[in-house]
Chains A and B, each alone.
Chain A
Amino acid sequence: MIAPKLTIPFVRFELRCGAILVVSPRPSAPIASIHVHVRGGPALDPPGRSGMAFLTGALADQGTERRSEEEIATALEPEGGEIAGDAGGLSGSIVNDRWELLVDLLAEMLTSASYPAAEVSRQKQRLLDRLLVERDDPRVQGGLLFRKLVYGEHWLGRASRGTLESLPRIEARHLRAFRKANWVGRRAVIAVCGDVDPARVRRKFDRALLEWAPGKRHTPNAAKFPPVARRVGAFTAKRQQVHLYVGHLGIARNDPDYAALVLMDHVLGTGPGFTNRISRKLRDELGLAYSVSANIHASAGLLPGTFTAYIGTSPEHLSTAARGFVEEIRRLQSDLVGKDELDVAKSYLLGSFPLGFERAARRASYLVSAELHKFAPDHLERLLAEFASVSADDVRRVARAHLFPDGSCIAAAGPIRRPELLRKMASIRR
Chain B
Amino acid sequence: MHGLSRLYRRLVVEQRLATSVSSHNDSRVEAGIFWLFVEAAQDVDPRRLERAVDEEIGRLVAKEAGAAELRRAKRLIAAGEAHESETVSDIAEDLGAFAVDARWQLALAALDRIAAVSARSVRECAAKLLLPRRRVVGWCLPRSSAGPGPRRKP
Contacts and interface: CB of A to CB of B under 8 A. Distances in A.
A126 B19 contact: yes
A372 to B, nearest CB: 25
Interface in B39-80: 41-42, 72, 75-76, 78-80
Interface residues of A, number: 27
Contacts of A125: 16, 41-42
Interface stretch (A46-54, A70-78, A206-214): A70-78
Interface stretch (B23-31, B85-93, B97-105, B130-138): B85-93
Contact of A31 (B3, B72, B78, B83): B83
A358 B86 contact: yes
A90 to B, nearest CB: 16
A80 B87 contact: no
Interface in A353-385: 355, 358-360
B16 A93 contact: no
Nearest to A96: B82
Nearest to B73: A78
Interface string A59-79: 000000000011001100111
A23 B16 CA distance: 40
Contacts of A95: 79, 82-83
A361 B85 CA distance: 14
A31 B90 CA distance: 13
Contacts of B2: 73, 77
A129 B16 CA distance: 12
Nearest to B13: A122
Given A77-B2, A77-B4, A80-B76, A129 B41 contact: yes
Interface in A105-158: 122, 125-126, 128-130, 132
Interface residues of B, number: 23
Given A122-B13, A122-B16, A93 B79 contact: no
Given A73-B2, A358-B87, A78 B76 contact: yes
B19 A359 contact: no
Given A125-B16, A125-B41, A129-B41, A77 B76 contact: yes
A428 B78 CA distance: 57
Contacts of B20: 126
B4 A30 contact: no
B42 A129 contact: yes
A97 to B, nearest CB: 9
A80 B42 contact: no
A78 B82 contact: no
Tell me the interface secondary structure of chain A in the complex.
helix
A69 B4 CA distance: 10
A130 B78 CA distance: 32
Nearest to A132: B42
B4 A73 contact: yes
A79 B75 contact: yes
Contacts of B87: 358-359
B42 A78 contact: no
B3 A79 contact: no
B13 A77 contact: no
Given A73-B2, A129-B19, A78 B86 contact: no
B80 to A, nearest CB: 7
B86 A30 contact: yes
A72 to B, nearest CB: 8
Contact of A80 (B3, B12, B41, B78): B78
Interface in B1-41: 2-4, 12-13, 16, 19-20, 41
A355 B89 contact: yes
B82 A31 contact: yes
Contacts of A130: 19
Contacts of A30: 82, 85-86
Interface in A17-36: 29-31
B83 A93 contact: yes
A126 B3 CA distance: 15
Contacts of B42: 125, 128-129, 132
Nearest to A61: B3
Nearest to A72: B3
Contacts of B72: 77-78
Given A95-B79, A126-B41, A129-B19, A77 B85 contact: no
Contact of B79 (A29, A78, A122, A129): A78
A132 B144 CA distance: 14
B132 to A, nearest CB: 28
B86 A80 contact: no
B56 to A, nearest CB: 18
A73 B8 CA distance: 12
A80 B88 contact: no
A359 B12 CA distance: 30
The 6 A-B pairs with the shortest beta carbon distances in the complex, nearest first, are: A80-B79, A358-B87, A73-B3, A78-B75, A126-B19, A30-B82
Given A31-B82, A79-B75, A80-B75, 5 more contacts: A31-B86, A77-B2, A78-B75, A80-B79, A129-B41
Interface of A: 29-31, 69-70, 73-74, 77-81, 93-96, 122, 125-126, 128-130, 132, 355, 358-360
19 contacts: A30-B86, A69-B3, A74-B4, A77-B4, A78-B75, A78-B79, A79-B79, A80-B78, A80-B80, A80-B82, A93-B83, A95-B82, A122-B13, A126-B12, A126-B41, A129-B41, A132-B42, A358-B86, A358-B89
